[in-house]
Structure formats: structure tokens, C-alpha cells
């Protein structure tokens, strides 16, 4: 005679405290892991985060993200190579003990980060407008302590929209090596507005447009 045993598949109390919906949000390679509170409401709940490179066996405690009450952890420094794949995981701690670890999706910064529009500075000489283009910067610091431009890590192009009377007149495109765009042959004593967009050439993804910068020709 055979006996059939049923396993207890009900979740443990600790699983009710596991964080929910782990998701990386990335802008200009500022890579921040977000999550939500568990379904079960518990006082004094804290969270701890670990990360690793895909393929590594060992997990690393994420700096500044141990025993925190926030629902996010900035992992920009830990995920600073945009061509690596990363994982993160989060668990909670309460008076009932630790929850189980919850794993993020596999994160690839080069594909998943979004970009801000470049900053533009506009000057006019007669009927010529000069546009200085400043790419967005990452949170990562270079050897001199200044923040690294995103174009050091990712090839971008920049589109400049020339607008007159709320109608686009021209669209100019320049690569990330060009720091200045010169627009000639404009009408005299006319007000033009300019907006800028960052574009990832390989995927075609675009940033939001920058605020309008308006200037009048002489």
C-alpha cells in the first residue's frame, strides 16, 4: 500500500514581509533600485540590499543600504561599468525576523539607462546663432573629482530644434564630439527659440526636450 503525503505549500510569515516589485530606474547612469512595501503592514520594518555582477557567486552588501527604511538604493557606484550585467536583491527585517531575498531582473546599464537632454547656451551675432552644447553628466567622478559626461560611456547624438512662431523651422543634428553648432542665414530682428534632445543612435531612443531658450537676431 502506498501513502500519499501533501506538502505544506502555504507561505511562511517571513514571505509576507518580502519587498515587492523590485525595479531599476536609470537616468544618465544614475542607477537606483526601487521596491515597494510588502503586503503585510509591520512597524519598524527595515531593508537590506546586496548586489553582484552576473556570473559571480558571491553577493556584496550594498554600501549605505543596510538596515534602511527607504524604498530605494542608489547602486550607481556598484554598477558603474555600463557593459556589465548586474543583479540586486532585497530583504526586510522586522521583529518577526528576516524575509526571504527578492531578486531584481538582470540589469544592463548601457541598454536600460535613459538620458537627459543636453544643456544649451545660445549667443547671437547679427543673423548668426551659436549654440554651445553641454552633454548631461553621470554621478560618477573622474580623476579630477568632476562628474563624468555620459558621452564618455555612451555614444550620443544631439538634435537642436529651431522654432519660430511656435513652428519648427529646422532640425540640426550633431555628434557628441561637437561642442558648438552655428546656425547662419536667419532673418533679421526675429525671435527664435531652441530646444535640444539627446538621441541614442543604436536604439533611436530620445530624451525629453530641453526647456526652450529664446533669442532675437539683430
Over the stretch 137-160, which tens digit does the pLDDT of each residue have? 999 998 888 999 999 999 999 999
CB 156 within 8 A of CB 135: yes
Over the stretch 181-199, which tens digit does the pLDDT of each residue have? 999 999 999 999 999 999 9
- What average pLDDT does the structure give for the chain? 91
11 pLDDT higher than 60: no
Query: Where do the CATH 2.60.40.10 domains begin and end in the chain?
Result: 15-112, 119-217
Res 10: pLDDT: 37
Cα–Cα distance for residue pair 37/204, rounded to 1 Å? 35
CA within 13 Å, CB half, 130: 8
- The region of weakest confidence among 27-36, 123-132, 172-181 is 172-181
What spatial distance separates the first Cα and last Cα of the chain, rounded to whole Å? 100
Under DSSP, the state recorded for 61 is E
Q: Class of the 15-112 domain?
A: mainly beta
- Predicted TM-score (pTM) of the model is 0.88
Mean pLDDT of 48-65: 97
Looking at the structure, give the CATH architecture of the domain made up of residues 119-217: Sandwich (2.60)
79 pLDDT higher than 90: yes
- Look at the chain and count its residues: 218
165 pLDDT higher than 50: yes
Chain centre distance of CA 115? 7
Residue 68 grid cell? 534602511
SS3 196: strand
Res 6: pLDDT: 39
CB 120 within 8 A of CB 174: no
Over the stretch 84-132, which tens digit does the pLDDT of each residue have? 999 999 999 998 899 999 999 999 999 999 999 999 999 999 999 999 9
Amino acid at each position: 500500500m502506498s501513502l500519499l503525503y501533501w506538502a505544506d505549500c502555504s507561505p511562511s510569515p517571513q514571505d509576507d514581509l518580502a519587498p515587492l516589485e523590485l525595479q531599476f530606474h536609470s537616468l544618465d547612469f544614475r542607477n537606483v533600485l526601487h521596491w515597494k512595501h510588502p503586503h503585510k503592514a509591520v512597524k519598524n520594518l527595515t531593508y537590506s540590499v546586496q548586489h553582484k555582477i552576473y556570473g559571480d557567486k558571491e553577493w556584496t552588501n550594498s554600501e549605505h543600504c543596510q538596515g534602511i527604511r527607504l524604498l530605494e538604493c542608489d547602486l550607481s557606484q556598484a554598477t558603474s561599468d555600463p557593459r556589465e550585467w548586474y543583479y540586486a536583491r532585497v530583504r526586510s527585517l522586522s521583529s518577526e525576523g528576516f524575509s526571504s531575498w527578492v531578486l531584481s531582473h538582470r540589469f544592463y546599464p548601457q541598454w536600460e539607462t535613459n538620458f537627459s537632454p543636453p544643456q544649451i547656451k545660445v549667443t547671437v551675432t547679427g543673423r548668426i546663432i551659436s549654440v554651445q552644447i553641454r552633454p548631461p553628466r553621470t554621478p560618477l567622478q573622474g580623476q579630477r573629482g568632476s562628474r563624468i559626461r555620459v558621452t564618455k560611456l555612451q555614444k550620443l547624438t544631439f538634435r537642436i530644434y529651431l522654432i519660430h512662431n511656435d513652428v519648427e523651422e529646422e532640425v540640426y543634428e550633431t555628434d557628441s564630439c561637437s561642442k558648438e553648432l552655428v546656425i547662419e542665414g536667419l532673418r533679421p530682428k526675429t525671435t527664435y527659440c531652441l530646444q535640444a534632445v539627446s538621441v541614442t543612435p543604436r536604439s533611436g531612443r530620445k530624451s525629453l526636450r530641453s526647456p526652450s531658450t529664446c533669442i532675437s537676431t539683430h
